Structure 1
Amino acid sequence: MKQRLLLIAIAFLIVACSSSLKKASISSPNEAITVNFNLTEKGEPTYQVLFKNKVVVDTSFLGFEFTDAEPLKDNFEIKAFGTVSKNDPWEMPWGEQLKVENEYNELIVFLIEKDTERSVNVIFRVHDDGIGLRYEFQQQDGWTEALIKEEKTQFNLTQDYKTFWIPGDWDIYEHLYNTTKLSEIDALQFANHKDLAQTSIPNNAVNTPVTLVGDDGLHLSFHEAGLVDYSGMTLGVDTENLSFESILVGSDNTEYKVKRQIPFKTPWRTIQITDNAPDLIASNLIVNLNEPTKIHDMSWFTPMKYTGVWWEMHLGKSSWDYGMTQNMSTWTDTGGAHGKHGATTENVKRFIDFSAKNNIGGVLVEGWNTGWEHWIGFEDREGVFDFVTPYPDYDLDGVTRYAKEKGVEIIMHHETSSATETYTKQMDTAYALMQKYGMHSVKSGYVGKILPKGEYHHGQYMVNHYNNAAIKAAKYQVAVNAHEPIKATGLRRTYPNIISREGLRGQEFNAWSSDGGNPPEHLPIVAFTRMLAGPIDYTPGIFNIKFDEYKPNNQVNTTIAQQLALYVVIYSPIQMAADLVEHYEANPEPFQFIKDVGVDWQQTKVLNGEVGDYVTIARQERETGNWFVGGITNENARTLDITFDFLDENQKYEAIIYKDGENAHWDDNPLDIIIEKIDVNKGSDLSVKLAEGGGFAISIKKLD
């Protein structure tokens, strides 16, 4: 591992109480991005960001408000500053690529308040693809605990960007993206038109990642990295002055939003900066700003595709609950869903057989454990779910043994119904059960309002809950795929057993949402917003697009070719073949792509794209060296040109292309698909026509 450490300004140039020291600057290794730090005449800390000598973030203020102390905002002087340059490449144990470049320059500004001598450091880390800034509170006399009421980090922008955003909801990220000018954002009005139960959207706030596109082609995405023991950050929008300012997620139970013992560091506030859309997806800024791994052996986790008892319950074919209640050892019919229970021994074995036959490594089983009769809509949810006791019609021992014989891994499911104390008390027992049966992945869920009351999904209490659950899971060799989670902030680098998460409006909305489901533009936006934060468990692969026999007023709003493309475009180390077994068995030719496509990648190339319009991504599988390409479009048909310049020299390949048929359309004719084979080599060109809401997928293998 190559490291280059350079201390400039004479080992941090310690200058005690020097009123003449006002400014400092740092640039990215390629010198395209520059950060200027400055103290105003009032001693207010400010910064400015330039990209290719053009101001991107104009003079913006930094500071804090506290519940038990005066704010930190002015009357500062620079006690010292220093710069560090580092080149620290690393390897992903699983991911979009194997090798990750990690070169940056860092500026540290040591600030001290003149009268009180309270101190805080501001750290700017500048990569070629963006910047991170964070605050550091070092140990100091007379100040041992910070009760943060608000963090006052500003981002003053220089143009009225086209902005792709969701409301700054404190409880859910499951909103459709809105596309407006920055000056036209109205998060409260937008949220109130949705059929989701709202919690708290203070002021006019948006959640991150929020992505902006300028008239000059500049692309910015604002987010955070390394969110540990802190509150999630939303961004308040000043539409008149074209500015963002941090608004931390709070709690109804305390005046403060964050409570930390000093010393501590805040999460990084991040800005990805590129002059084109594909480079946003290619950026590794978020993971690079996290600490190196603390789990050095991940050999027990295998990236995989999986099937499972899930989609059929969203369609209403079966249910999570058994439809019975238990009194001691006797089960009594409650008139519920008895007879429709999905997680039966027989049904799960059917999925195991199908997975074993079709190169699919896992089976997810939702609704296997007791408690589902008393979760949604009940206030007294603590103590309801039992994470070790199966329903009477599910033979946990027998099913697990059967799966092992077939070479298939059972993926555990833990729905907490947001009863956090119940889950915390049972974690060790639940993870130990998984370890006993050789289960290495769990899908956890947090549907509903958080218990204890007054806490929110994205506040400090829940940030710690989600992170602590994953850290504890690692001790039992369990990888976590969290649904209804806190946002991804790159912690998968530090804790690579954090494998995936939801954190967006997923595929299930197509099955039952009253607004018609996710529109065709949804995923071409998601690829440049939510996916910048980390892996997404979107559950693609729905072949029965209309499913009129179950939900005549709902459907998936893509073509079948786009459903195939999502296995490449929307990244996760676990990818679900989400549809019912019978629909795959009835369509063996397109299903072949799902059987073949990889989930763990040697390298990734983003071939083209525009935010909200279209994107094409090529990924090379680690073990085989095979390439897979996926492209998707929004509601507009288009033709995309591909050049296969990512292939090896002097090598012939067979490409199997799965593309929209001549009459394909996401609504009128979503099942129209053409499958063809061609030979390609490095430099070959291909034009592919995508239908409205359509896509294409390509499997590329070497010819002998």
Structure 2
Amino acid sequence: MMKIYYYLLAAAIGAAACACTEKSNLASPNGNIKVDFRLTKDGVPVYCATYCGDTVVAPSSLGFDTEQFGSLTGGFKQLSVIHSDFDEIWQPVWGEFDSIRNNYRQMVVELAYEADTADIRMNVEFRVFDDGFAYRYVFPSQKVKELTIIDEKSEFAMTANHTAWWIPGDYDTQEYEYTRSRLSEIPAKHEAALVGNASATPFDKNAVQTSLMMRTDDSTYINIHEAALVDYPAMHLVYTPETYKFISALTPAGQSGHAAVIHMPFSTPWRVVMVSDRATDILATQIIYNLNEPVALDDTSWIHPVKYMGVWWEMITGKSQWSYTDAENFDLATFDYSKARPHGKHGANNENVKRYIDFAADNGFDQLLVEGWNTGWEDWLGKEKDYVFDFVTPYPDFDLKALNDYAHSRGIKLMMHHETSGSIPNYEQHMDTAYALMNRYGYDAVKSGYVGNILPKGEYHYGQRQVNHYLDAVRRAADHHIMVNAHEAVRPTGLARTYPNLVGNESAMGTEYRNMAPGHVTILPFTRLKGGPMDFTPGIFEMDLGKFSPDNTHKRATIAGQLALYVTMYSPLQMAADMPEHYAKHMDAFQFIKDVPVDWSDSRYLDAEPGEFIVAARRGKGSDNWYVGGVTNEQARTVDVSMSFLKPGVKYLATFYTDTPEAHSDTNSQAYAIHTENVTSNTVSSVYMAPGGGFAISIVPAE
């Protein structure tokens, strides 16, 4: 009875708080979302929010714990409130759309904390869009020049025991499968959600990571994330049992006892809450990009989407290796590879790389990634060595110049690979030289990796120092006209708008994890992809990995479902991740990968439910060709695809790539069918998806 009374009281307080004076009230352009701000009698900053009249965020306090001034969570005075409106249309360098509307209403609340030991000016800046709202802390120029933040105390008070899709809070990795549970079940399910990783630091059984996807019992969708993460640690969310409240928790700066040191003036990242009564709106929202700054580069003409293959999957599955020799316990600086005995399993050898180049070129790909090309792979994983790779010295069987020349003669480029082994100082020391080597040989894209624990020891992947490093690498790459695809880095927060040469990230469990549940790909677009594109590496056609790598098992997917990922999981950097010999057996299905664009003029999310299924349609950049993809979880389902996105009065030819009735991700993954139909904007096609499967459709104007 006491618990029921508590929730009724909380709801009453929430209703009251969301009816503040007009001065501290802010509504979205369409009026559906309203945010209220107030100071309590103790000077505690509090906000709440409603959607269509219903409270979605109950009263939630704001503030910080600091080293110099203690708790900055109360004792504030309100100086002024400034309202403004903003509306623009901007064109991304690449993206899901030709143009994006950025329309919001803004409220800046100017606050002062005055005490015997401190005189702090802090503004809270709110922006409310039609599909969500955001706030950040802004510290203007003032007498205090530096602030050491122990932790941020931003609250997100949910109103009930929502259903959530979450991964455990971890300072070093997001490579987890998502858990679906009620909020109240997070602590109990936390341990079961943990998996091994080369570097993992889970820190609290109540902690989860953003983007956090939730659904209320009356089907309102709520998503919490952050935007514009610059010079600041990544934010986690710690659940408070029995209150349905989350409190921010910043990634600490090693063993220092604090999270961040900021210098005035300073703006924190945006804390973002997306909300809608339609799941497809969460997929389509561009709020994260809109909260980032416009392009910071003077020239973006050299930045372009990339469809690529790679000498990679054969290493991941164990068919070949990154290393060149079995030699052990050597000093890389003095080891003579020319005298070493090769173990014969090195994948990045001249003959094999040429084989991939030929297949990629023959089938219209842009680039070929080659991993394991450079010395050092024998002596790195898990050893936490300051110096492993120099990023410029190839193995004896990898002719750097000849292979790049050959690729260029075939009309494609090689893609560089920089595995840093987590040693930040070493990579920073060698970075410009490595980029210069890329310029010399014609590389224009690099896949960087941060596998293992971060060095210096005690630092974390998502701490302030590392966040600054990742962005510095992107900025320095831009100076060399190089695009970056960062793996194991902090999850993206929309910075690709400002630095569009950041064409991809991993920062989630991708294809290389072979036994994840099929429903994983129906959750990622609601969570990880809200901050930016993921290099998920789709396109696996041979699911029975044991056929060529005896220590491996079966990948849970179907060929038709793999084709669908090129549409449902947006990225300007898309890989055909399997090996040429596997594609050669299914060239009719491979045709879709060859045809599907990696840049778009328009995108439509036709139907979706997190953890269940997604159906999306996209129009190629500057084209009248449309592509549709659908993926499902372990449940078979038939969906009706309305072609109403097509131009009225125009006839199109649609090619369907579908699971057959016998297909199953676990037992019959290569059972697919291909057929064509004439369609118009009035057509509604029923399409079957097998358990763990999906479908893809290419639609072109009829001759």
- TM over 0.5, yes or no? yes
Q: 1:346 aligns with which of 332, 346, 351?
A: 351
1:363 is aligned to 2:368: yes
Q: 1:51 to 1:189 in 2, by over 3 A?
A: closer
Contact 1:470/1:498 (<8 A) preserved: yes
Q: 1:551 to 1:242 in 2, by over 3 A?
A: farther
Report how far residue 121 of structure 1 moved: 0.2
TM-score relative to the length of structure 1? 0.94
Contact 1:23/1:38 (<8 A) preserved: no
Question: Secondary structure of 1:101's partner?
Answer: strand
1:538 is aligned to 2:536: yes
Matches within 5 A, 1:94-493: 94-115=94-115, 116-141=118-143, 143-186=144-187, 189-190=190-191, 193-196=194-197, 198-202=200-204, 204-323=206-325, 328=334, 330-331=336-337, 338-379=343-384, 381-493=385-497
Contact 1:184/1:239 (<8 A) preserved: no
d(CA) in 1 for partners of 2:94, 2:182: 37
Tell me the equivalent position of 2:504: 500
Deviations, residues 259-307 of structure 1 (Å, cap 9, x unaligned) = 0111100000000111111110100010000001012422212212111
Tell me the equivalent position of 2:665: 666
Structure 2, unaligned runs of 5 or more: 1-19
1:519 is aligned to 2:517: yes
Q: 1:89 to 1:191 in 2, by over 3 A?
A: farther
Report how far residue 194 of structure 1 moved: 2.4
Decide which moves more: 66-75 or 213-222. 66-75
Contact 2:337/2:395 (<8 A) preserved: no
Report how far residue 21 of structure 1 moved: 9.3
Report how far residue 377 of structure 1 moved: 2.1
Contact 1:168/1:187 (<8 A) preserved: no
d(CA) in 2 for partners of 1:187, 1:111: 39
Q: 1:564 to 1:551 in 2, by over 3 A?
A: farther
Contact 1:163/1:212 (<8 A) preserved: yes
Deviations, residues 10-55 of structure 1 (Å, cap 9, x unaligned) = xxxxxxxxxx999601111111100000111111110010101111
Q: 1:689 to 1:86 in 2, by over 3 A?
A: same
Report how far residue 227 of structure 1 moved: 0.2
d(CA) in 2 for partners of 1:522, 1:261: 40
Q: 1:200 to 1:683 in 2, by over 3 A?
A: same
Q: 1:623 to 1:358 in 2, by over 3 A?
A: farther
> Which residue type is aligned with residue 336 of structure 2?
T
Tell me the equivalent position of 2:87: 87
Contact 1:64/1:150 (<8 A) preserved: yes
Question: Secondary structure of 1:424's partner?
Answer: helix
d(CA) in 2 for partners of 1:469, 1:160: 41
Report how far residue 334 of structure 1 moved: 6.7
Report how far residue 656 of structure 1 moved: 0.5
Report how far residue 626 of structure 1 moved: 1.2
Consecutive aligned runs of 4 or more in structure 1 exceeding 6 Å deviation:
332-335
Report how far residue 89 of structure 1 moved: 1.4
Tell me the equivalent position of 1:14: none
Deviations, residues 177-203 of structure 1 (Å, cap 9, x unaligned) = 000001110278436752336424235
Decide which moves more: 246-255 or 38-47. 246-255
Q: 1:622 to 1:327 in 2, by over 3 A?
A: closer
Q: 1:247 to 1:203 in 2, by over 3 A?
A: farther
d(CA) in 2 for partners of 1:419, 1:371: 13
Percent same amino acid among aligned pairs?
44
Question: Secondary structure of 2:583's partner?
Answer: helix
Report how far residue 255 of structure 1 moved: 1.9
Contact 1:67/1:255 (<8 A) preserved: no
d(CA) in 2 for partners of 1:77, 1:544: 64
Number of matched pairs: 676
Q: 1:551 to 1:634 in 2, by over 3 A?
A: farther
TM-score relative to the length of structure 2? 0.94
d(CA) in 1 for partners of 2:155, 2:161: 16
Q: 2:546 aligns with which of 538, 545, 548?
A: 548
Contact 1:21/1:78 (<8 A) preserved: no
Contact 2:191/2:205 (<8 A) preserved: no
Report how far residue 247 of structure 1 moved: 0.2
> Which residue type is aligned with residue 286 of structure 1?
I
Tell me the equivalent position of 2:17: none
> Which residue type is aligned with residue 285 of structure 1?
I
Tell me the equivalent position of 1:528: 526
